[in-house]
């Protein structure tokens, strides 16, 4: 950033007029809490009258963690993939697009379940699979803490549905089972939203998965 506070992305003018990287009709964004996308940054680099200064400013933005359209990463977990490697709109590219087959398979399963007249629990499970995949896409694309819940909470809901699907035929209190699981899932969603569980969430999810194992044989 120039020492006089002017923006480098101007069309031959040493002030903020005509700035392509600023908002609010030319008011310079100096607050680091406001994050510009790298796409806009690179676009500014191409059309700036002083490309050298523009590129240096782009590097400063990257160093400050401003290359993300969604802002700085606030999630409590990141997987083994470089963030924003292909797009400023998608943080973890492969973790995001890998959910597309999950959505398609769940949709195919839902269509088959409806065509063949399966019990409603199977249709609900396929819908849950789609919701989980969509939530996972949103989370991995943004890596925002609040949107992390759109991935983790549906994971628990889906496991509760699996428990219902595989245990309900032999459940002695079958009429109360859906009510219990619904209340359990709702309470977890609220508590997890405020508590933001880390290792507790992982242990809880593993336990739910293990509860399904006895019915797999």
118/48 same-domain check: no
210/105 same-domain check: yes
Q: How confident is the model at residue 9 (pLDDT cuts 50, 70, 90)?
A: very low
58/99 same-domain check: no
121/210 same-domain check: yes
Residue where one domain finishes, among candidates 51, 67, 83: 67
CA–CA separation, 185 vs 197, rounded Å? 15
Residue 60 pLDDT more than 60? no
Model confidence pLDDT, tens digit, residues 73-110: 889 888 888 898 898 899 999 999 999 999 999 999 99
In a domain, 28, yes or no: yes
204/145 same-domain check: yes
- Residue 83 marked ligand-binding: yes
In a domain, 107, yes or no: yes
Q: How confident is the model at residue 10 (pLDDT cuts 50, 70, 90)?
A: very low
In a domain, 26, yes or no: yes
Single pTM value for the model: 0.66
Residue 138 pLDDT more than 60? yes
Contact yes or no for 81/143 (Cβ under 8 A): no
pLDDT of residue 105: 97
176 burial level (CB within 10 Å; 0-12, 13-18, 19+): exposed
Model confidence pLDDT, tens digit, residues 143-186: 999 899 999 999 999 999 999 988 888 776 667 888 999 999 99
Q: Which of 28-42, 63-77, 192-206 has the highest mean pLDDT?
A: 192-206
pLDDT of residue 59: 54
In a domain, 124, yes or no: yes
In a domain, 85, yes or no: no
Residue 42 pLDDT more than 50? no
Joined together, the tokens standing for residue 191 give 């508590």
Mean pLDDT of the chain: 77
1/62 same-domain check: yes
27/129 same-domain check: no
CA–CA separation, 141 vs 75, rounded Å? 11
114/191 same-domain check: yes
Residue where one domain finishes, among candidates 28, 50, 67: 67
Q: How confident is the model at residue 63 (pLDDT cuts 50, 70, 90)?
A: low
> Which of the two residues, 119 and 17, has the higher pLDDT score?
119
In a domain, 83, yes or no: no
102/209 same-domain check: yes
In a domain, 17, yes or no: yes
pLDDT of residue 76: 87
Q: How far is CA 205 from the centre of its chain?
A: 19
What's the structural domain count of the chain? 2
In a domain, 102, yes or no: yes
Residue 130 pLDDT more than 60? yes
> Which of the two residues, 40 and 127, has the higher pLDDT score?
127
Domain residues for the domain of 51 are 1-67
Sign, CA dihedral 159-160-164-170, equals positive
97/63 same-domain check: no
99/200 same-domain check: yes
57/101 same-domain check: no
- Residue 32 marked ligand-binding: no
């Amino acid at each position: 950033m120039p020492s006089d506070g002017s923006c480098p992305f101007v069309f031959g003018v040493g002030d903020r007029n005509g700035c392509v990287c600023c908002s609010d009709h030319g008011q310079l964004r100096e607050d680091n809490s406001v994050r510009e996308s790298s796409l806009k940054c690179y676009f500014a680099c191409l059309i700036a009258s002083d490309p050298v200064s523009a590129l240096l400013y782009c590097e400063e933005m990257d160093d400050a963690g401003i290359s993300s359209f969604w802002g700085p990463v606030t999630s409590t977990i990141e997987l083994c993939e470089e963030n924003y490697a292909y797009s400023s709109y998608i943080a973890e590219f492969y973790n995001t697009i890998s959910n597309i087959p999950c959505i398609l398979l769940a949709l195919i399963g839902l269509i088959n379940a409806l065509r063949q007249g399966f019990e409603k629990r199977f249709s609900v499970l396929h819908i849950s699979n789609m919701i989980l995949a969509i939530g996972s896409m949103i989370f991995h694309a943004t890596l925002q803490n609040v949107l992390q819940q759109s991935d983790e909470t549906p994971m628990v809901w889906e496991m509760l549905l699996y428990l219902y699907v595989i245990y309900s035929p032999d459940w002695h209190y079958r009429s109360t089972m859906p009510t219990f699981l619904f209340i359990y899932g709702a309470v977890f969603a609220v508590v997890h939203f405020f508590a933001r569980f880390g290792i507790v969430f992982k242990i809880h999810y593993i336990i739910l998965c293990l509860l399904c194992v006895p019915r797999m044989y």
